[in-house]
Structure 1
Amino acid sequence: MLLAKAFGVHPGYGLFAGSVSLAGGHGTAIAWGNDAEAAGLQDAALVGIAFATFGLIAGGVVGGPVAEMLIRRHKLSPTGEANITTSDSSEQKEESGYSLHRALSLMLVIAICLSVGEVINRWLFANDIKLPGFLTAMLIGIAITNLADKAKRSLPAGDYDKVGEIALQLFLAMSLMSMDLSSLAGALGTIFVVLCIQILVLTLFAVFIIFRVMGGDYDAAVIVGGFCGLGMGATPVAIANMTAITGKYGPSFKAFLIVPLVGAFFIDLLNAVVIKFFIGLPLLQQAPLTGA
């Protein structure tokens, strides 16, 4: 927000150069961008998409080299053989047993998440708590998944992963097709400078804070690579970074446990709190709503 103000634009655009787009990704940027545009912040979704796109690239480019630098500088190696168990066999069983019952069950659960999430979202709106619709639907999905596990009737993760991938691709395609990215041509220089500053800050934070807090060992270095991918892009980028690192230097069970859990669950909840906090700051409230 301070960078945006320094460049002479509305501080609200600074939110979309931060955790809205870089940690949240395209989906979060579009969802919050639509709300911001409805409030009068022109092209907020476009700005968010631009940073989310460049952030994905930056996260993949920076994460691996930073982690490798830490591994080589501190002469790190895996502490032991990590018995990482995968769900390939269970997923293969799920894939081989397609049935109409499974398809209808999947559609029912998704419908419950969307409908109950919408009811909760309307109640929140009525109480002046504005959150993107996907967040409340996600919370219902988390509740259903945990209740199913508690009842020892786990949901077929492979099926939901495939539906999620298809839905995300359709969502991004429809959203990006309706965006006029050429309107940001005049602001590319500003976007590039702000993005470079964000990359520098995130990298320094990962190296000097994350690495030390996580123990300063091999697992911590792999987590740093994942954090760079997650903080600048999205969870798939973080996993890709860690997969490349562990494929070269050895496995890290701790990293593959922590980073996906944070990226797939905790970050969306905390990010909403962070965004709402910054929206309420006097710096944002006092600035007049103007275009980029």
Structure 2
Amino acid sequence: MTSLTVPALLTFTISIVVFFLGAGINGLIPQLRRWNIPEAVTGGFLASVATWLAYELFDVSISFQLGARDTLLLYFFTGIGLNARLADLLAGGKALAILLAITLLFLVIQNLIAIGGVHLLGLPEGLTVFVGSASLMGGHGTTIAWAPIVAQRFGIGNALEVGIAVATLGLVLASLVGGPIAGYLIARNKLSGPVGDTLVVGLPDNDKPRDDDLNHVSLLRTILVLNVAILVGVAVWELVDEIGIKMPAFVVCLLVAIVLTNTVPRFLPRLEWPTRTRSLSLISDLSLNIFLSMSLMSMQLWTLGGLGPALILILAVQTLATVVYILLVVFPSMGRTYDAAVLSAGFTGITLGATPTAIANMTAVTKTHGAAPIAFIILPLVSAFFIDLANVVAIGLMTR
């Protein structure tokens, strides 16, 4: 076996090529555009297949240095926070509470499916964690954190490999089903987004060149504000981490950016602030797409080879349960509106993949159908903060 590690700059460059590959394929296949499959997902998945073929055919294991990926994640979520006006936060308060409640309910359902599947199929009890919310809602980070505990508690030597494989497959499934669900709901209910609103992430597909705020000065100004917000956010994150409050750095940066965007312009009204500008939307879109390209192209699909039919069957049931739950619970509970359809696309990321996957699904939908700013605020708060706390409790109960 030959191991090949791709250095950071080359990884970054390849991720851009991967995005363009996905954009080209989406342009050739109308169904991918109609199903709102993000370009980075198309290209990233094909790149991961290429690394899998290199592993299978040439006995070469390819890995990527992904240091830039974490920075891009901070840029993206800080940009989301800078777009969060107080009026939107107040308007989204009820929606946030409803989304949190129905997500917590599905966390229970997901783990009940995992318990039932493991029992009926005769799998080791310890695998319950990794076919439930630990790997699916928690993703790779939660899986890696809990794998040693599960391995020791239940004597499962390949706990980490199984958990990573499930999280990886869940990420792919979330990327593939989110867009089509939203497209179906929008078409069936004849929904559309607001006309003329600036997108939170990206520029619309029908965007035309015009003389506005998108130029080198506005881009540099926006990057400066983002950098300052990230520096403050990371400092606050280190502080809260020292006092024992554990949460992802990007969540703290998101919250700090929300505070800054609702205070600084009030005290310094002459200061040009990037909220709801096309430059901030563009930078957020770039950060998300490169992040997602890196994440998907670095998937090691050969780790899925150890999954037996029983585990694949459980994942199929989990995916079906997610789709049914979205159609019967999420969309009606969120009001059957356009924002509810966009959140439905993101809900697959919450429950099967990861927060960036959820945002990518919603971005693909809004580029075609119109802006949904409240959805981009409440979903990250639910999926990356509240659900992480609830997931810790659920995993703790299953590993007792």
- Letter matched to residue 120 of structure 1: V
- Partner residue, 2:393: 280
2:283 is aligned to 163
Question: What is residue 51 of structure 1 aligned with on the other side?
Answer: 170
- Which amino acid counterpart does residue 195 of structure 2 have in structure 1? I
Separation (CA, whole Å) in 2 of partners of 1:38 and 1:136? 27
Asked if structure 1 preserves the Cα contact closer than 8 Å seen for 2:131 and 2:314, the reply is: no
**What residue is the counterpart of 1:26 in the other structure?**
none
Aligned to 2:263: 147
Q: Matches of 2:330 and 2:294 in 1, distance apart?
A: 37
C-alpha displacement of 1:11? 0.9
2:243 to 127, 131, 136: 127
Amino acid at match of 1:63: A
Does structure 2 retain, via aligned residues, the 8 Å contact 1:2–1:11? Answer: no
How far did 1:283 drift? 2.1
Distance 1:139 1:68 in 2: 34
> Given the superposition, is the C-alpha separation of residues 34 and 106 from structure 1 closer, same or farther in structure 2, using an over 3 Å criterion?
farther
What is the rounded CA distance, in whole Å, between the counterparts of 2:380 and 2:183 in structure 1? Answer: 24
Cα pair distance change 1:163/1:30, threshold 3 Å? farther
Q: Could you give the per-residue CA deviations for residues 36-78 of structure 1, whole angstroms, max 9, x where no partner exists?
A: 5687872555543431221121112333335545x4xxxxx67
SS of 1:128's equivalent in the other structure is: coil
Question: Structure 1: how far apart are the matches of 2:364 and 2:220?
Answer: 32
What are the within-5 Å matches in structure 2 for residues 140-289 of structure 1?
140-150=256-266, 151-152=268-269, 153-155=272-274, 157-187=277-307, 189=309, 192-213=312-333, 220=336, 222-233=338-349, 234-238=358-362, 240-241=364-365, 256-257=371-372, 260-262=373-375, 264-271=376-383, 272-281=385-394, 282-286=396-400
Shift of 1:182: 0.9
Distance change in 2, residues 1:31/1:111 (3 Å): farther
- The percentage of counterpart residues that share the same residue type is 18
Rounded to whole Å, the distance in 1 between the matches of 2:145 and 2:294 is: 18
Shift of 1:19: 3.6
Per-residue deviation at 1:241? 4.6
Shift of residue 191, structure 1, vs aligned partner? 5.8
Aligned residue number for residue 86 of structure 1: 197
- Selected match of 2:230 from 114, 137, 144: 114
Kindly tell me: are residues 240 and 130 of structure 1, through their superposed partners in 2, closer, same or farther at Cα, counting changes over 3 Å? same
- Mapped to 1, the partners of 2:292 and 2:362 lie a distance apart of 20
Q: After superposing the two structures, state which structure 1 stretch, 29-38 or 224-233, moved more.
A: 29-38
Structure 2 contact 233–253 (Cα < 8 Å) conserved: yes
One-letter identity of the residue aligned with 1:85: G
1:65 counterpart (165, 184, 187): 184
Deviation at residue 118 of structure 1 after TM alignment: 1.9
Q: Give the aligned residue type for 2:253.
A: A
Q: Report the CA distance between 1:236 and its aligned residue.
A: 4.3
**Separation in 1, partners of 2:322, 2:334:** 16
Distance in 1 (alpha carbons) for counterparts of 2:255 and 2:210: 24
Structure 2 unaligned runs (5+)? Answer: 1-110, 119-123, 151-158, 199-206, 350-357
Gapped regions of structure 1 (runs ≥ 5)? 21-28, 72-76, 247-252, 287-292
Whole-Å separation in 1 of the counterparts to 2:295 and 2:186: 34
Q: CA RMSD in A?
A: 3.7
Residues 214-249 of structure 1 deviation map (CA, whole Å, 9 limit, x = unaligned): 55xxxx2645533331111424434545776x6xxx
Shift in Å at residue 12 of structure 1? 4.7
Q: 1:47 to 1:164 in 2, by over 3 A?
A: farther
Name the CA distance, whole Å, in 1 between partners of 2:298 and 2:329: 40
Give the Cα–Cα distance (whole angstroms) in 1 for the partners of residues 223 and 241 of structure 2: 27
Q: Distance in 2 between matches of 1:92 and 1:45?
A: 47
Counterparts of 2:149 and 2:302, CA distance in 1: 22
Distance 1:38 1:209, change over 3 A: same
Deviations 1:232-284 (A, max 9, x none): 1424434545776x6xxxxxx9xx54xx412x211222222122122123424
Following the alignment from structure 2 to structure 1, what is the Cα–Cα distance between the partners of residues 289 and 194? 33
2:254, 2:144 → 1: CA distance?
A: 18
Question: Is the 1:278–1:284 Cα contact (8 Å) retained in structure 2?
Answer: no
